Structure 1
Amino acid sequence: MRDTRESRLLLILLVAVAFALITVDIKGGESSPLNGARKTAAGLLGPAERGAAGAVDPIARTIRAIRDSGTMQQRLDQIGNENTELRQRLASSDMAAGRTKQLDDLLRTAGTGGYTIKAAQVIAIGAAQGFSWTITIDAGSDDGVQRDMTVINGEGLVGRVTTVARTTATVLLATDPGFTAGTRMEGSGEIGFAAGQGASPMKVELLNGKAQVKPGDRLVTFGSQSGRPFVPGVPVGKVLQVQATPDALTKTVLVQPFVSFTRLDLVGVVVVPPRTDPRDSVLPPVPSNTPSPAAQAQPPAGSASPAAPASPAGSASPAQPSSVPGGN
């Protein structure tokens, strides 16, 4: 349409009529003369509006979902982070409780044996200095740790110190094939030498080939001069198997260590040995249903001892051999 004077007058007239109709409709309210026309238009256009709304609604929902998806993902991420933090707190709490028990057991063992210790934490594990089974601890010469000191934990013998730096030290574990320590049987006092065999039980050679040993018997360290490399009385392990060695000068037994070497965490380096040998006192109490070796060696109350065979008249009784224990 060309912009002529007539078209401009027509546009002004239409705008004036529209304002007049709006004014009449507002003033008339429900009695407005345009109310009927409005209802008629609503009836005609309503279905079309609903159809258009139905067609557009899925698109609107999709747009809202896309808009809200970022918020939902953020909430899920927040929940995931909170769960991770909670699990870490629980793990830290469990670890703290476990370390508290380890420290309590270590202090109890040291106190019972009279060992002065320097507590340390395992910070590395692996082969070192030509040995296969070693650990590194966070205590060194600055803490009074020296080479060939005994290392224990709350369960028993861990190993001995082989190398010392200012703030760290390397410990040879009792399971290493290059490890050897003097041992003594609980009760009987039979002496032997224990050697590591890696993941297999330790092998102990008892010096007395006729020693009375059975599965379940326990061993402690015999001790060394001046308490180095081993202090006396540290629990080593219990007998698993006695190997048959007829007429042999020594007896071989397999021993399960008390220490769980795959779960080492807190250990103690014995910096001052005990004043006296604690003997078997550091060993944990024997379960009530398992008699101790000393109790098993005694005859039941009320039973008569077997009579000794009579010696021929005029013959002298044979002399009893005496054994002198040796040290390592």
Structure 2
Amino acid sequence: MRDTRESRLLLVLLIAIAFALITVDIRGGEESPVDGARQAAAAVFGPVENGVAAAVDPVGNAIGAVRDSGERHTRIAALERENAALKAKLGSDDRNRSRLHELDTMLKTAGAGQYGIKAAEVIAIGAAQGFSWTVTIDAGANDGIRRDMTVLNGSGLVGRVTTVGPSTATVLLASDPDFTVGTRMEKTNELGFATGQGNGPLLVQLLNGKAKVNAGDRLVTFGSQAAKPFVPGVPVGEVIRVDPSGGGLTRNIYVRPYVAFTKLDIVGIVVQAPRTDPRDMVLPPKPKPAPTVTVTVTPPPPEGQQQAGEQPGQQPGRQQQPGQQPEQGQKPENEQGD
């Protein structure tokens, strides 16, 4: 429509009519003269409004769903964090129990050998292929750790300290090929030298080539001068194989170490040696074998053979009781023959 004087007059007239109708409708109340026109308009435009609402409602529902999904996602994320925290707590409790058990067994070992120890945690492990078998512990010179101190745990000999820093130290493990320690056999006291073989058992050369050794025999450390680098009596391992004696000056045996070198966690550095050699006192007691029950079956005597204590003419396995009447054809014991 062009903006002319006539169009402006028409717009003003329509606005005036609209205000007049609004005034009449308000004053008429429930009996408004325009109520019929309103109902007719509702009948005409109501289906259109419902269709528009039906088309718009999914969009509104989607918007609400997105908003609610955000709240649900936040709640799910919170639950996941709670579950993760609970699992971490349970895991840490299991780990703490395991470490407390390790610490307890180590303290018992130290108490049996009268070793003064400083507890430490393994915080790093060296490469096992082509390099030395070493671990790093979180104790150093500030904690009184010095070079050439014996390192043990609840199972036995771990190694010796080789390098010391202010707050950390390096331990050469007994499994390292460059590691050598003097050993003593349990009970027989046969001496030898154990050398690491990486993942394999320890190789022990006994000084006595004719020494009698059996699988299951156990060894402890012999000890060093001034208890450095090794204190005496620390469990080393158990014999698993013995080379045949070839008449040489020494004899080789193979020993499974007590310590699992790939599972080290809590260790103890011996900062004070025992006053006397504990020898075999630190070794755990050997399990006692279960008793064997022997059943002896006594076979019955051959037919016709008289058992001891039986009277002639008495049935085998039966004895005549005092006062009992003899069977037919049998005379009383006190009756004299003619």
Distance 1:165 1:218 in 2: 35
Distance 1:6 1:266 in 2: 98
Q: Which amino acid aligns with 1:87?
A: K
- Find the residue that maps to 1:287 and give its secondary structure: coil
Match of 1:117 in 2: 117
Check whether the contact 1:210–1:251 (CA below 8 A) recurs between aligned residues.
yes
- State the percentage of identical aligned residues: 56
Match of 1:252 in 2: 252
CA 4–274 in structure 1, closer or farther in 2 if over 3 Å, else same:
closer
Distance 1:173 1:6 in 2: 106
Q: Which amino acid aligns with 1:14?
A: A
Counterpart among 6, 10, 19 of residue 15 in structure 1: 19
The reply on whether 1:287 has 2:287 as its aligned counterpart is yes
Most deviating of 36-45 and 179-188: 36-45
Distance 2:59 2:47 in 1: 19
The TM-score, its normalising length taken from structure 1, stands at 0.77
Distance 2:196 2:179 in 1: 6
The reply on whether 1:159 has 2:163 as its aligned counterpart is no
Check whether the contact 2:221–2:235 (CA below 8 A) recurs between aligned residues.
yes
CA 280–15 in structure 1, closer or farther in 2 if over 3 Å, else same:
same
What does residue range 70-149 of structure 1 map to in structure 2 within 5 Å?
70-126=70-126, 132-149=132-149
Q: Please report how far the alpha carbon of residue 230 of structure 1 lies from its aligned counterpart in structure 2 after TM superposition.
A: 1.1
- Find the residue that maps to 2:283 and give its secondary structure: coil
Distance 1:23 1:211 in 2: 128
Distance 2:105 2:262 in 1: 17
Q: CA-to-partner distance for each residue in 1:296-317, whole Å, 9 max, x for gaps?
A: xxxxxxxxxxxxxxxxxxxxxx
Distance 1:89 1:135 in 2: 28
CA 276–46 in structure 1, closer or farther in 2 if over 3 Å, else same:
same
- Find the residue that maps to 1:181 and give its secondary structure: strand
Distance 1:242 1:109 in 2: 28
What does residue range 1-328 of structure 1 map to in structure 2 within 5 Å?
2-5=6-9, 7-24=11-28, 26-28=29-31, 41-126=41-126, 132-289=132-289
Q: CA-to-partner distance for each residue in 1:223-278, whole Å, 9 max, x for gaps?
A: 12221211111011112222334434332222111111112122111111111111
Distance 1:273 1:287 in 2: 29
- Structure 2 residue ranges without an equivalent (≥5): 292-338
Q: Which amino acid aligns with 2:89?
A: R
The TM-score, its normalising length taken from structure 2, stands at 0.75
Q: Please report how far the alpha carbon of residue 66 of structure 1 lies from its aligned counterpart in structure 2 after TM superposition.
A: 3.4
* Count of paired positions: 286
Q: CA-to-partner distance for each residue in 1:41-100, whole Å, 9 max, x for gaps?
A: 545444333322222222222333334444343333333333333333333323322222
Q: CA-to-partner distance for each residue in 1:138-181, whole Å, 9 max, x for gaps?
A: 22233322222111111110111122233322211100000011
Structure of greater Rg: 2
Distance 1:185 1:215 in 2: 12
Distance 1:142 1:240 in 2: 41
CA 7–104 in structure 1, closer or farther in 2 if over 3 Å, else same:
closer
- Structure 1 residue ranges without an equivalent (≥5): 292-328
Distance 2:290 2:171 in 1: 34
Q: Please report how far the alpha carbon of residue 119 of structure 1 lies from its aligned counterpart in structure 2 after TM superposition.
A: 1.6
Match of 1:298 in 2: none
Q: Which amino acid aligns with 2:19?
A: V
CA 39–12 in structure 1, closer or farther in 2 if over 3 Å, else same:
closer
Most deviating of 200-209 and 230-239: 200-209
Distance 1:15 1:280 in 2: 115
